């Protein structure tokens, strides 16, 4: 009899411990949801801070670039500045091309992320692509404006009169190569160089876009894409198709007669412009690099938030299915 009593006591104690353990585990799971929600709020706050800084830096950089481009497109070289203004325009074009290379690299990384990682926040990444596309188009437009602002050649007499004399009753004239002709030749050579490079780049871009357009149409027609890929490819097709028309229009604009700046800079003004541009280029490069780093930070933060949300949803689902309090609340609602 005594043994039976001890056995029943141990069974009851074990049951109580199991109940206590289950209750403790349930409380721990409830608390984990509270903690995850706090964690999520902190990460979202951090993401908002980084996004605000990206917008602020991006807008400031965009304004700086716009001011520089507007200034350069209004200027041209004079006989005293020779080709200083043209050189600065060439450097500005090269800088914008480097920015386009960064945009292309970041965009390709986003596309690869969407295609290879099913857990990636595709909607947010597609919005990133749209933002990059807008910036890219703005930079291409600024390159076209700079190329168009470079003066073309004019019909100018190569020689000009440089005095006269008389010998044995015959009048002679001295002539020399005019400085105006020399400047016109400098302008023509630099303008043709930049125009040819721009035209070749635009023609290549059109060829690449048309091939990409055909590939996207074929892939969409196959019907083998998942929903995320289909949405991505449809967006890409629309973007590529519009770009083909834009690039063809820009090619015509670059080939048209130049709309050279109206203000001829003196040597001193051109030297000041060169120094101004060098300082501005350094500032813009630093700001742009910081913005790219901030974007990487924001993208990483967004992935953390995505993971926390999925974890939180899974824990809330478990509680909904297993927590008596949650079931009572659900029934009362």
Q: Is residue 18 part of a domain?
A: no
Above 70 in pLDDT, residue 174? no
Ranking 98-107, 153-162, 193-202, 254-263 by mean pLDDT, the lowest is: 153-162
Please state the rounded mean pLDDT for residues 147-160.
Answer: 69
Of 27-31, 66-70, 234-238, 265-269, minimum mean pLDDT range: 27-31
Lowest average pLDDT, out of 5-19, 85-99, 195-209, 236-250, goes to 5-19
Residues 273 and 88: beta-carbon distance below 8 Å: yes
Give the torsion sign (CA, 88, 149, 193, 195).
positive
Q: Is residue 4 part of a domain?
A: no
Element at 76 (helix H, strand E)? strand 75-77
Residue 44 lies in a domain: yes
In a domain, 86, yes or no: yes
* 205 within 8 A of 95, measured Cβ to Cβ: no
Classified as helix, coil or strand, 118 is coil
Is it the case that residue 180 has pLDDT exceeding 80? no
Tokens at 286, concatenated: 């630093």
The HSE-up count of residue 88 (CA atoms within 13 Å, CB side) is 29
Whether 233 is covered by a domain: the verdict is yes
Domain assignment of residue 91, yes or no:
yes
Q: Which tokens hold the place of 236?
A: 């890409």
Count the neighbouring beta carbons within 10 Å of the beta carbon of residue 234: 13
* Residue 258 to residue 145: CA distance in whole angstroms: 10
- The region of weakest confidence among 255-264, 285-294, 298-307 is 255-264
Instruction: Enter the tokens of residue 72.
Output: 């350069």
pLDDT of residue 274: 94
Count of structural domains, the chain: 1
Which domain covers residue 259, as residue numbers? 24-332
Is 182 part of a structural domain of the chain?
Answer: yes
- Tens digit of each residue's pLDDT (9 = 90 or more) over 24-47: 578 888 888 899 999 999 999 999
Average pLDDT, the chain: 83
Helices (H), 172-266: 179-222, 227-255
Supply the DSSP string of 248-289, one letter for each residue: HHHHHHHHSPP---SEEEPHHHHHHHHHHHHHHHHHHHHHHH
Q: Confidence band (pLDDT; 50, 70, 90) for 153? A: low
Give the angle 205-69-240 at the CA atoms, nearest 5°.
Answer: 25
**Inside any domain, residue 5:** no
């Amino acid at each position: 009899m005594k043994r039976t009593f001890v056995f029943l006591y141990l069974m009851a104690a074990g049951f109580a411990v199991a109940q206590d353990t289950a209750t403790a585990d349930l409380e721990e799971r409830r608390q984990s949801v509270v903690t995850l929600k706090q964690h999520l709020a902190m990460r979202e706050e951090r993401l908002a801070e980084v996004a605000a800084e990206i917008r602020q830096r991006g807008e400031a950089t965009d304004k700086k670039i716009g001011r520089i481009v507007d200034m350069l497109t209004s200027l041209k070289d004079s006989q005293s500045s020779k080709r200083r203004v043209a050189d600065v325009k060439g450097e500005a074009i090269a800088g914008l091309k480097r920015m386009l290379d960064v945009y292309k690299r970041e965009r390709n990384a986003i596309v690869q992320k969407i295609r290879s990682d099913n857990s990636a926040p595709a909607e947010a990444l597609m919005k990133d692509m749209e933002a990059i596309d807008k910036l890219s188009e703005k930079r291409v437009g600024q390159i076209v404006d700079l190329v168009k602002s470079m003066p073309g050649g004019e019909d100018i007499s190569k020689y000009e009169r440089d005095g006269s004399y008389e010998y044995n009753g015959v009048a002679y004239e001295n002539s020399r190569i005019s400085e105006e002709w020399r400047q016109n030749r400098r302008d023509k050579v630099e303008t043709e160089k930049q125009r040819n490079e721009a035209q070749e780049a635009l023609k290549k871009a059109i060829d690449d876009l048309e091939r990409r357009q055909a590939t996207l149409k074929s892939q969409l027609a196959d019907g083998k894409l998942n929903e995320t890929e289909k949405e991505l490819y449809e967006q890409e097709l629309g973007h590529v198709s519009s770009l083909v028309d834009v690039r063809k229009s820009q090619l015509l604009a670059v080939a048209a007669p130049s709309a050279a700046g109206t203000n001829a800079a003196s040597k001193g003004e051109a030297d000041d412009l060169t120094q101004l541009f060098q300082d501005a280029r350094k500032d813009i490069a630093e700001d742009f690099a910081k913005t790219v780093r901030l974007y990487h930070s924001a993208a990483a933060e967004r992935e953390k938030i995505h993971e926390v949300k999925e974890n939180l949803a899974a824990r809330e689902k478990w509680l909904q299915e297993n927590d008596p309090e949650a079931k009572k609340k659900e029934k009362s609602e």
